[in-house]
Structure 1
Amino acid sequence: MSPFPGRRLRTLVPALLAVALLAGGCTGLAGGGPRASAGSLAPRVDLSGRTYVVGSKNFDEQQILCQISIAALESAGASVTDRCNVGGSDVTRQALLSGDISTYWEYTGTAWASYLRETRTLPDDQVLAELRTRDRAQNGVVWLDRAGFDNTYSFVVDGATAARLNLNTISDMAAYVRSGQPGDVCVETEYASRADGLAGLQRAYGFELPRDRRETLEQGLIFQSTADGVCLFGEVAATDGRIPALGLKVLTDDRGYHITYSAVPVFRADVFDRAPQVADLFAPITAALDQQTMQQLNGRVSAGGQSPRDVARAWLAERGFIGS
């Protein structure tokens, strides 16, 4: 992933962003149902007269979080435009910085490694503290409280295959690759190119993945491909609901290579400063989103076929955050 702000992003992203916003945001602009009604969040914050454009990256978890933000803001009286599914990390980040969206959910690890280009390994508390200081000062981005789940990178194997081959850790995966035995490693495009992705993993675990043993797939295809044996090892997100649904085994990152990816609502500073009480709106939501909850919500979309909007609003209503 390219650092921000970079010259390549300044020249390439605007054109890509225009296409992505039209393609990804058109569903939300067309409607999609009634506004969320007031629940327990509304007495905390009155956002009447405020307007927000809410965006997200282009995978299920991000779109669920986007719909959570939309419903929460609506329930407090705000006018909201749905721009969920903007695109990948770089495009969505640029949409925030350029003012095309007001807010989205970002991950501490992504910002730390890819936007700030940091290589230091720090506890997530310290990472978030530095992000709050530096990202506001340098880029006008405000970071709120983090949710209680870690959407870090993980490698999975079909459960029965893992038991048969005694694969339990990423060190086991590295040893298997070094042995030359058959079996492909499937990764998504972003992981294959990120500074904190595949290249660093090979250095950390001391193996070299031959090009003919690597398959680059859309993330959504990796789960089933691994369950079906097309991929022996698949790179996935730790909170995805398809992991338990398909009987996949997560390999332990025994050398602690992958950093923490806590999800945090981020806002343009100029938008946030007009109504800083919006932080109080999101505080109970981030407190309620733990690892198990996020994996269950993801599973309702990725494995259950429900829409991110329906899943988000059902969960918020179950918690009493919005009206049922």
Structure 2
Amino acid sequence: MKKRTVVLFILIAMVASFGCKKEQKEVVIASKPVTEGYILAQMLSLLVEETTDIQVKQTLGIGGGTSNIHPALLKGEIDLYPEYTGTGWLFVLKKEPLRDAQQLYAQVKQAYQEEYGLVWSGLYGFNNTYAVAVTEDVAQRYGLKTVSDLAKVSSELTFAANPDFLEREDGYPNLVKTYGLAFKAIKEIDIGLRYEAIKSGGVDVIMVFSTDGRLNVEPVAVLEDDKSAFAAYHAATVVRDETLETYPELAKALDLLAGRISNEEMIGLNHQVEILKQDPREVAREFLVKEGLLR
């Protein structure tokens, strides 16, 4: 009788254990192999882990970025990741550029839902797009505040950028077409050497990304793109519709970041990780606590 009782107890325990494993909630969060992607993915992970009972599995720094993450998302291998409106519109949907940032967001959001069953969360707030920067000396000497100002004196200055920017249609060719720039000279440089090139005095103007962590410490002035030559790259979370249907509580957690991160704040966060070599997860947690999103 005792043996039967023990066996019955073991069977009940096994069934209970199996049931718990089957009901375990889990989502996979991915990121691109860039500093900003790591920080944002850690923010999303912390918010999901600490405001829901969903477990997070991370797949961070995926090589190829969107070109590999997007297909994995469609297959269900990934549930969500941080993406940019300009990337979704131009690279994934292969549409013509839209200059109005709000229209771009609305249309990319609608197209993703209709074509892929993917949902865009509210925009985080910052716009990591291309930008043009000059040395502080050049900005003061010529009174430069906008790219239109730069166009008037571009024939006296040397511009430098990586080959990809110089060749891609939405990069340098579009910049020249929009503003009528005609630089004295153009130099091709590795993307990682832009700031060294301008500090050395070898060039006067460089291409930067508007949330570069080094903008906090380098002697450069970012010029306003007053004619909106560059597409908007506002960041938000892209998540599978099926995942939201399975875990409806996830939507509230993801939208906690909506409107929370300005360009200046993203520059600061990138600076902490890129320049000060701080841990992305700790930087993310500190920011969320400061914003009152975590305790």
Pairing 1:235–2:207 present: yes
Structure of higher CA gyration radius: 2
CA contact (8 A) 1:141 1:268 kept: yes
Q: Relative to 1, partners in 2 of residues 1:134 and 1:321: Cα closer, same or farther, differing over 3 Å?
A: same
Q: Relative to 1, partners in 2 of residues 1:123 and 1:169: Cα closer, same or farther, differing over 3 Å?
A: closer
What residue identity is the alignment partner of 2:44? Answer: S
SS at match of 2:242: helix
Partner of 2:46: 71
Structure 2 alignment gaps of length 5 or more: 1-22
Question: Normalising to structure 2: TM-score of the pair?
Answer: 0.80
Structure 1 alignment gaps of length 5 or more: 1-47
Q: CA deviation at 1:192?
A: 4.0
Pairing 1:124–2:101 present: yes
How many Å separate the matches in 1 of 2:30 and 2:166?
24
Q: Residue deviations 1:7-47, cap 9 Å, x none?
A: xxxxxxxxxxxxxxxxxxxxxxxxxxxxxxxxxxxxxxxxx
Q: CA deviation at 1:143?
A: 0.6
Partner of 2:112: 135
Pairing 1:206–2:180 present: yes
Q: Relative to 1, partners in 2 of residues 1:101 and 1:214: Cα closer, same or farther, differing over 3 Å?
A: farther
Q: CA deviation at 1:176?
A: 4.5
What residue identity is the alignment partner of 1:117? Answer: K
Q: Residue deviations 1:164-187, cap 9 Å, x none?
A: 34443323444544x2x4624123
**Of residues 53, 70, 83 in structure 2, which corresponds to 1:106?**
83
Q: CA deviation at 1:301?
A: 1.6
Partner of 1:86: 62
Q: Relative to 1, partners in 2 of residues 1:117 and 1:248: Cα closer, same or farther, differing over 3 Å?
A: same
Partner of 2:287: 315
Partner of 2:274: 302
Q: Residue deviations 1:164-218, cap 9 Å, x none?
A: 34443323444544x2x462412373x34544222222222234679x7232423
What residue identity is the alignment partner of 2:56? Answer: V
What residue identity is the alignment partner of 2:31? Answer: S
Q: Relative to 1, partners in 2 of residues 1:188 and 1:263: Cα closer, same or farther, differing over 3 Å?
A: farther
Q: Relative to 1, partners in 2 of residues 1:302 and 1:221: Cα closer, same or farther, differing over 3 Å?
A: farther
Q: CA deviation at 1:122?
A: 5.2
How many Å separate the matches in 2 of 1:273 and 1:227?
52
Q: CA deviation at 1:97?
A: 3.0
**Of residues 136, 144, 148 in structure 1, which corresponds to 2:121?**
144
Percent of matched pairs sharing the same residue:
30
Question: Normalising to structure 1: TM-score of the pair?
Answer: 0.74
Q: CA deviation at 1:134?
A: 1.3
How many Å separate the matches in 1 of 2:279 and 2:196?
20
Q: Relative to 1, partners in 2 of residues 1:198 and 1:99: Cα closer, same or farther, differing over 3 Å?
A: farther
Q: Relative to 1, partners in 2 of residues 1:223 and 1:275: Cα closer, same or farther, differing over 3 Å?
A: farther
SS at match of 2:161: strand
Within 5 A, what are the aligned runs for 1:1-324? 49-75=24-50, 76-87=52-63, 88-119=65-96, 121=98, 123-177=100-154, 179=155, 181=156, 183-187=158-162, 189=164, 191-207=165-181, 213-218=186-191, 220-323=192-295
How many Å separate the matches in 2 of 1:182 and 1:213?
9
How many Å separate the matches in 1 of 2:198 and 2:269?
22
Note the aligned Cα RMSD (angstroms).
Answer: 2.6
What residue identity is the alignment partner of 1:82? Answer: Q
How many Å separate the matches in 2 of 1:185 and 1:176?
16
Q: Relative to 1, partners in 2 of residues 1:300 and 1:121: Cα closer, same or farther, differing over 3 Å?
A: same
